[in-house]
Amino acid sequence: MPGLDSVLSCLDLNLDRSVERLQELLRIPSISTDPAYAPDVRRAAEWLKGDLEAIGFSARVAETVGHPMVVAHHGGAGEGKPQVLFYGHYDVQPVDPIELWDADPFDPKVIAMPDGTKRITGRGSADDKGQLMTFVEACRAFIAETGSLPCRVTIFLEGEEESGSPSLLPFLKENAEELKADVALVCDTNMWDRETPAISTGLRGLVGEEITLTAASMDLHSGYFGGAAANPITILARILGAMHDADGRVTIPGFYDGVPELPADVRKVWDGLGFDDAAFLGAVDLSVPFGEKGRSVLEQTWARPTAEVNGIEGGYTGQGFKTVIASKAHAKVSFRLVFDQDPDAIRENFRQFVRERLPADVSVEFHAHGGSAAIQLPFDSPVLETARQALSDEWPKPAVMIGMGGSIPVVGQFKDTLGMPSLLIGFGHGDDRIHSPNEKYEMTSFAKGQRSWARVLEALGEKGAA
């Protein structure tokens, strides 16, 4: 009976053909944010539907109020086997500024580099067509060699990720029963380095607040009123400055509720990654970590919450000088959340923190700008270990579990709407120039990404996705 080895051999033997298929998809300019490209976005969806049907999936192009989704199912080895939901997106970013591209963004090439490596060029090669096709090719080889898949598989491909995903949440709610699975597989992430695959175990949440302080009914002459009138800019600066103590900790009451210390074994792994704090900061002309004392940069950006002032405004900011005491002062403040911090509690505690520091004659208005909880896989999750070992079997160095400082909204929506965790496994690199001219995807990422997904599917089929 053919097994994993024959599947991997099939992938290797058919690599050139899989590159040709990827190039066919890359030639379709599926730019979701520009209405002029709407027919091309649909054409990409239809292309994927046809390709998935050709390898044995039942597939459909699902309509939304915006661009369509592609949903496909394969029963795999049948009942009793894990059900996985693979997510990717087939839409791409605009190509502007076009004059900075070395070649036509929608005429993909395979380029040989001086060091002997090869890369696939073109818009969408890394974000996200190349990534999603690694999974499709793994499924293609499994079905060709064994007649089935180790797991029950649903493939869910979005056409609006690069334009804010306006249709995603309504679609998830309307099709929840069809899309529910034991675990979601998300491919829109990077490796740690060129020899080390990574599983992103956490995504920070986000709370945004805009505040306005008002004192006098009009801007005042600082000569007439200075020293006697409340200055909302000064007051706002004091409040914002009070959000951190001398050691960089946030002073808002209850801020660290739900934030445990990083497990010692995870800290040891992160410390062993060889991350260069100085190089990271030096790349933007900084030199000294500014946040919580006693925390590494990786811990600060992956596993610790933050309070940041993103903008502040008040008074006269034009050319020259105007000696006024402003009537109003404004600030935009954001909080990155980790683990089990409650976005609603963070927002209310911040507002109370501000209110308690207002002197007489000064009022405050708040305006919320969204809020989402952090996503965190348990570090001892069995499915995490299953995937980690499968990836380690493919690459020169063992897979590592990393955090992510930013957010991927679909992961939270999968958790909240479908009640399932996500494994974030991708094969991109930091220099793939996604969203920029001359986007590329390394051939090693494409080839070994296919083999990696084959190993992950096999492992999940054997050990489960619990």
Helix locations, 247-288, DSSP H = 264-271, 277-282
Q: Tell me if 190 sits within 8 A of 408, measured CB to CB.
A: no
Question: Between vectors from CA 138 to CA 133 and to CA 139, what angle results, nearest 5°?
Answer: 95
CATH, range 205-259+305-372: 3.30.70.360
> Rounded to whole angstroms, how far apart are CA atoms 248 and 343?
21
Q: Which residue has the tokens 């005042």?
A: 220
Instruction: Give the residue from 347, 336, 337 showing the smallest Cα distance to 210.
Output: 347
Counting Cβ atoms within 10 Å, is residue 231 exposed (0-12), middle (13-18) or buried (19+)? Answer: buried
- CA–CA distances in Å: residue 305 to residues 56, 200, 347: 45, 17, 13
pLDDT tens profile 158-207: 999 999 899 999 999 999 999 999 999 999 899 999 999 999 988 899 99
> Rounded to whole angstroms, how far apart are CA atoms 399 and 269?
11
Residue 363 pLDDT = 97
Kind and range of the H or E run holding 200: strand 198-203
> Rounded to whole angstroms, how far apart are CA atoms 250 and 255?
7
pLDDT tens profile 60-88: 999 999 999 999 999 998 788 999 999 99
- CA–CA distances in Å: residue 438 to residues 142, 434, 435, 443, 446: 33, 8, 9, 15, 17
Domains 4-203+374-463 and 205-259+305-372 in one fold: no
Question: Does 3.40.630.10 match the CATH number of domain 4-203+374-463?
Answer: yes
Residue 186 pLDDT = 95
> Rounded to whole angstroms, how far apart are CA atoms 361 and 216?
8
- Dihedral pair phi/psi, residue 56, rounded to 5°: 115, 0
Residue 409 pLDDT = 80
Buried b (16+ CB within 10 A) or exposed e, 180-191: bbbbbbbbbbbb
Domain ranges, ordered by start, for the chain: 4-203+374-463, 205-259+305-372
| Token digits of residue 340 | 């089990």
Work out the percent of the chain whose per-residue pLDDT is above 90: 86
Instruction: Give the residue from 455, 258, 273, 238 showing the smallest Cα distance to 376.
Output: 258
pLDDT tens profile 132-160: 999 999 999 999 999 999 999 999 999 99
Side-chain-side CA neighbours of 70 within 13 Å: the count stands at 29
Can you give the pTM of this predicted structure?
Answer: 0.85
Which residue stretches of the chain have pLDDT < 70?
Answer: 1, 466
User: Which 3 state secondary structure label does DSSP give 1?
Assistant: coil
Q: Tell me if 64 sits within 8 A of 171, measured CB to CB.
A: yes
Residue 371 pLDDT = 85
